Amino acid sequence: MADMRYPDFNIPIVAATKAPAIRCVDVTLRVKKKLVLDGVSFEIPAGSLAGLLGPNGAGKSSLMRILTGMFPPDSGRAELFCAPAGPERLGVLSFLPDRGQLPPYLGAGEWLRLAAGLYPDWSEARMEELIVKLDVDRGQRIGSMSRGQEARLQLLTCLSRQAPIIILDEPFAGVDMVSRESIAQAVVGELADGERTFLIATHDIREMENLFDRIVLIGEGRMLGCHDVEALRAGGRSVESCYRDVFA
């Protein structure tokens, strides 16, 4: 076990499961003069399914862009498995951006072949399994897909990689109920191996509240809480009531 490694990345699995998958320490970001993130600190243990919750403009997407190495914080540290986030850490994470678009002129199957060539950690077996679970039609042109169909194809792309950290930005925005359910189901199926960690930004508390084991609340760029969800419930609070207490 000691020398098993994720294919193509140099992360020993044993080390990966002990360290927090994601850690932010006092992350601060300014865009022009505006303070977008103001001293955000939290930890996500490996193997968690964590929700990043907050209203529009709270700084969720900016935080995810820092974690995915698109830009560094002005101060503080953002780490993935104890190494600073940045372009050189892209191999350990798979990211589904908010309102991301796939090339509309390609068929789903053509896109998947392209993605398979793009990502060194692509798993054909996982892709085949997810095509069935997420009910994706390889023959369909992306430009003719509904929002729900495209969201399922995007998630399929994200999960067919073997990266240990999955970051999803609003995977349910504008998605029909049946697609939401199959997206939630696919996420749980991936998690049960215990080797992947999810951080999911969403407004959709109802669909996801039974799935999260941890929630991080941010508002106006500030940390407003980080909770173990079952501990909240043991104290008689739901994810939704906690969200309301903080933001309403």
Partner 1 sequence: MPPIRMWKPEDFRLDPSRPLYEQFVEQVRAMIARGELEPGTRLPSVREAAASLRVNPTTIMKTYQELERLGLIVTHRGQGTFVTEDEAAIGSSRRELAREAVARLEETARSIGLSLDQLLALAREKE
User: Site residues (CB under 8 A) for partner 1?
Assistant: 49, 181, 184-186, 188-189, 191-192, 194, 209-213, 229-230, 233-234, 236-241
The residue among 80 and 242 lying less far from partner 1, judged by its C-beta, is 242
Closest distance to partner 1 from the beta carbon of 76 (Å): 29
Place of tokens 């191996």: 193
CB burial string 10-35: b at 16+ within 10 A, e below: ebebeebbebbbbbbeebebeeeeee
Say if CB 96 and CB 67 are below 8 A apart: no
The residue among 144 and 185 lying less far from partner 1, judged by its C-beta, is 185
Closest distance to partner 1 from the beta carbon of 185 (Å): 5
Closest distance to partner 1 from the beta carbon of 227 (Å): 13
Q: Which two tokens stand for residue 146?
A: 């509904």
State the burial class of residue 107 (Cβ atoms within 10 Å of its Cβ: 0-12, 13-18, 19+).
middle
Say if CB 95 and CB 159 are below 8 A apart: no
The residue among 11 and 191 lying less far from partner 1, judged by its C-beta, is 191
The residue among 39 and 45 lying less far from partner 1, judged by its C-beta, is 45
The residue among 85 and 186 lying less far from partner 1, judged by its C-beta, is 186
The residue among 27 and 49 lying less far from partner 1, judged by its C-beta, is 49
| CA gap 120, 205 in Å, rounded | 34
Closest distance to partner 1 from the beta carbon of 240 (Å): 6
Closest distance to partner 1 from the beta carbon of 226 (Å): 17
> How far is the first Cα of the chain from the last one, in angstroms, to the nearest whole number?
48
The residue among 59 and 148 lying less far from partner 1, judged by its C-beta, is 148
Closest distance to partner 1 from the beta carbon of 6 (Å): 20
| CA gap 196, 205 in Å, rounded | 21
Counts for the chain of helices (H) and strands (E), in that order: 9, 10
Alpha carbon distances (Å) from 58 to 26, 120, 187, 248: 16, 34, 24, 14
**Strand intervals (E) in 102-192:** 165-169
Closest distance to partner 1 from the beta carbon of 59 (Å): 26
Residues forming beta bridges with residue 122, ordered by sequence position: 161
